[in-house]
Amino acid sequence: MVSSPHEAMHRIFQEYPELFTGVSRILGLDFAPPTSVTVLPTDLTEARPVERRVDTLLRFDTEDGDSFLLAVEAQGKKDPAKPASWAYYLSYLYAKYQLPPLLLVVCQDRATAEWASRPVTIGPGQWPALTLRPLVAGPHNMPVITDPAQARKDLAMATLSAITHAADPSVDGILKALSTALRDTPETIAHPIVELTAQGLGTRPAAQQWRKLVAVDLSFFTSPMSEELRDEGRAEVRAEVLPMVAEAILMFLEQRGIDIPDDARERITSCDDPETMHHWLTRSATAPSAEAIFDQA
């Protein structure tokens, strides 16, 4: 089954490390283009019974010969204990790898993003020893990508756009642009995008929209994740459309003055097969009785 948005918010940087280049530019930072990116172990536990794990950890080696570490944390809500953990992560990483560490926090709501963006000073007020300054990506600064051509140029950024704006009204346009861009994308490339988007949306209403788009726009995909989303999307479409068809059948019969027994009414309103309902709808215009719509001839 599709997992939580937390997984998608950081794992997208493991799948598409080059995404950080675009995110950093949006955030007004200038990093040299990477020549290589290495996914590093996320376990920061010391030899003591306190386990500490960063969500995603990457090493970037750049064209100008510099290297740095990128720790990506997915943050779903405000957590007063997190800044201390983040400061520990960065100190530990610097001590272990002797490379400058950077923290990127990915959020899906503005309040959490604003909270995470605030610098946190550690130490006495007279002379703070450390200052924690996370980079934050969220709905307040990530682009709203609703143009399929723009989405096609950078599928990873379009996916992050959908994830960070999952709770915004604009997400419907982002998802439509993304599904349109994926129509002519090889399935091996599109599959992780479909999966990450589904994970990132979680149980929000936009997840229903994504399932429907996968069911309709991407119906030719055959991956297990696509099949799962497609089946869920079809079920939701049936749940919305079939009651309206049943209502139309009953209305046609009633307007023609045809009596509808309780058992016939129950059979019509409980049917969940679209082809059968279409047949009954067609028959309801001419059938001499309610029971006659069920005839196959």
**Which pLDDT score, from 0 to 100, does residue 144 have?**
96
Read off the tokens for 205. Answer: 């209403």
Query: Cβ distance 171 to 34 under 8 Å?
Result: no
Q: How are beta strands 135-137 and 101-106 bridged, if at all?
A: parallel
Q: What is the pLDDT of residue 46?
A: 65
Question: At a CB cut-off of 8 Å and minimum separation 6, what does 81 contact?
Answer: none
In this structure, how many other beta carbons lie within 10 angstroms of the beta carbon of residue 198? 24
Query: Would you state the pLDDT for residue 243?
Result: 82
Contact (CB, 8 A) for 71 and 59: no
Q: What is the pLDDT of residue 57?
A: 95
Q: Which residues make Cβ contacts (< 8 Å) with residue 26, sequence separation at least 6?
A: 137, 141, 142, 143
Nearest CA-CA partner of 114 in 139, 85, 89, 132: 139
> What's the pLDDT at 42?
86
pLDDT in tens, the chain (297 residues): 445 788 888 988 898 988 998 999 998 888 888 899 999 888 877 655 556 788 999 999 999 999 999 999 999 999 999 999 999 999 999 999 999 999 999 999 999 999 999 999 988 777 888 899 999 999 999 999 999 999 999 999 999 999 999 999 999 999 999 999 998 888 888 888 988 999 899 889 999 889 888 877 665 555 555 556 555 555 655 666 678 788 888 887 888 888 899 898 999 888 887 778 878 888 888 888 888 888 875
Kindly compute the dihedral angle of the four CA atoms of residues 211, 213, 219, 221, in this order, to the nearest 10 degrees.
-70
Torsion of CA 134, 138, 140, 146, to 10 degrees: 150
What pLDDT score does 234 carry?
58
Q: What is the pLDDT of residue 237?
A: 56
37, containing H or E segment: strand 34-39
Question: Do strands 120-122 and 101-106 pair parallel, antiparallel, or not at all (unpaired)?
Answer: unpaired
The pLDDT of residue 51: 61
Residue 2's pLDDT is 44
Task: Tell me what pLDDT residue 33 has.
Answer: 85
Let me know the angle formed at the C-alpha of 163 by 162 and 165, rounded to the nearest 5 degrees.
65
Query: Taking phi first (over 0 means left), then psi (-120 to 50 degrees means alpha), and beta for anything else, what does residue 27 get?
Result: alpha
pLDDT at 3: 56
Going by C-beta distance under 8 Å and a sequence separation of 6 or more, which residues neighbour residue 269? 243, 246, 250
Question: Is residue 61 helix, strand or coil?
Answer: strand
H/E run at residue 62 = strand 56-62
Structure tokens belonging to residue 140: 């307040």
pLDDT of residue 163: 95
Say if CB 44 and CB 52 are below 8 A apart. Answer: yes
| Amino acid residing at 186 | P
CA distance 245 to 120: 58
Whole-number pLDDT of residue 129: 87
